[in-house]
């Protein structure tokens, strides 16, 4: 593999779009897989990497991932490191759910982990700025007890004055792993029942109401959501929060958890497969595609 220095922001950004949650799912699970894989190979060449005439798709993904780790550390790489070096080593997946781009309040949390604890991870790469961070953190505390910012190890000083004492810090290390820098403090003062209900799907918030009240309010479809809020507002927020977390944990997919840890999957692909809810049929097809030469 030869590397020439033609890394423009345009070419790197285009490669990063393919090595992302949506990009990898589009390539590996859509009907035009060969076209997408060929496009990935072309993007590698545009970024100055002379790949072999015939390369396995798994190799193209690995090469792309390594290239971006050196030249363009975008958000997906942080999320991959969070899964591979933090979640796998510190949590049992059978009791843990990861949520991607989870809306709470007026913000979308990059990653949420719910198991015995409940944590939000807001990623700020070297390509980002601290703008909106305070607002985002305020929103996250409406549904979750611990908030972390995940930043590059060289940018700790840039963010220290942007967070309060409750917020934890994790860093993307020189070894491309996620390491704990400062533990978050549990903070429940801003939990908000309305924000929690709005974060759930309809069947989930109806389940939450039923678990708390033993019944679903009788209301027209237009008034049902408001009636649910009125009913839940009668209960202590910490009790509603506990049921809110239990309902989120019902999204755990044990089959997917097992499949994404198989050695056949490239490190960069595991997270995308997790969010795709990979099943056994998907996995068999995926392994076949990864061994395809293009």
**Model confidence over 211-236: pLDDT tens digits?**
999 999 999 999 999 999 999 999 99
pTM over 0.75: yes
**Model confidence over 135-172: pLDDT tens digits?**
999 999 999 999 999 999 999 999 998 999 999 999 99
Task: Of 22-36, 137-151, 230-244, give the lowest mean pLDDT range.
Answer: 22-36
**Model confidence over 98-122: pLDDT tens digits?**
999 999 999 999 999 999 999 999 9
Residue 187, CB half-sphere, CA atoms under 13 Å: how many? 19
Q: Is the pLDDT of residue 3 over 70?
A: no
Q: Is the pLDDT of residue 95 over 60?
A: yes
Residues 187 and 141 sit within 8 Å (Cβ to Cβ): yes
Return the DSSP state at 47: T
SS3 251: coil
Domain boundaries, the chain: 1-75+255-291, 97-182, 193-250
Residue 2: pLDDT band by 50, 70, 90 thresholds?
A: very low
Q: What is the pLDDT of residue 4?
A: 47
More confident residue, 53 or 206: 206
Give the mean pLDDT of the chain.
Answer: 95
Q: Is the pLDDT of residue 85 over 70?
A: yes
Q: What is the pLDDT of residue 7?
A: 63
Cα separations in angstroms, 183 against 31, 62, 167, 258: 44, 32, 8, 29
Q: What is the pLDDT of residue 52?
A: 86
E strand or H helix that includes residue 242:
helix 237-249
Q: Is the pLDDT of residue 67 over 60?
A: yes
């Amino acid at each position: 593999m030869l590397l020439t220095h033609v890394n423009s922001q345009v070419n790197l950004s285009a490669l990063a779009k393919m090595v992302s949650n949506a990009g990898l799912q589009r390539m590996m699970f859509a009907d035009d897989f060969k076209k997408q894989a060929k496009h990935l190979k072309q993007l590698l060449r545009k970024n100055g990497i002379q790949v072999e005439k015939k390369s396995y798709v798994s190799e193209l993904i690995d090469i792309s991932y390594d290239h971006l780790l050196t030249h363009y550390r975008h958000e997906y790489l942080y999320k991959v490191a969070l899964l591979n070096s933090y979640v796998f080593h510190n949590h049992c997946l059978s009791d843990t759910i990861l949520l991607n781009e989870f809306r709470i309040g007026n913000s979308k949390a990059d990653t949420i982990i719910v198991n015995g604890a409940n944590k939000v991870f807001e990623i700020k790469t070297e390509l980002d700025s601290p703008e909106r961070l305070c607002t985002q953190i305020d929103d996250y505390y409406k549904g979750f007890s611990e908030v972390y910012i995940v930043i590059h190890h060289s940018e700790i000083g840039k963010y220290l004055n942007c967070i309060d004492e409750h917020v934890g810090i994790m860093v993307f290390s020189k070894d491309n792993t996620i390491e704990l820098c400062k533990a978050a403090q549990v903070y429940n003062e801003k939990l908000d029942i309305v924000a929690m209900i709005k974060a759930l799907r309809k069947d989930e918030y109806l389940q939450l109401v039923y678990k708390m009240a033993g019944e679903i309010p009788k209301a027209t479809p237009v008034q049902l959501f408001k009636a649910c809020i009125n009913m839940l507002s009668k209960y202590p927020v910490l009790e509603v929060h506990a049921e809110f977390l239990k309902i989120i944990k019902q999204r755990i997919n044990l089959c997917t958890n097992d499949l994404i840890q198989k050695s056949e999957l490239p490190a960069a692909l595991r997270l995308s497969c997790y969010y795709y809810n990979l099943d056994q049929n998907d996995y068999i097809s995926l392994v076949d595609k990864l061994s395809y030469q293009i």
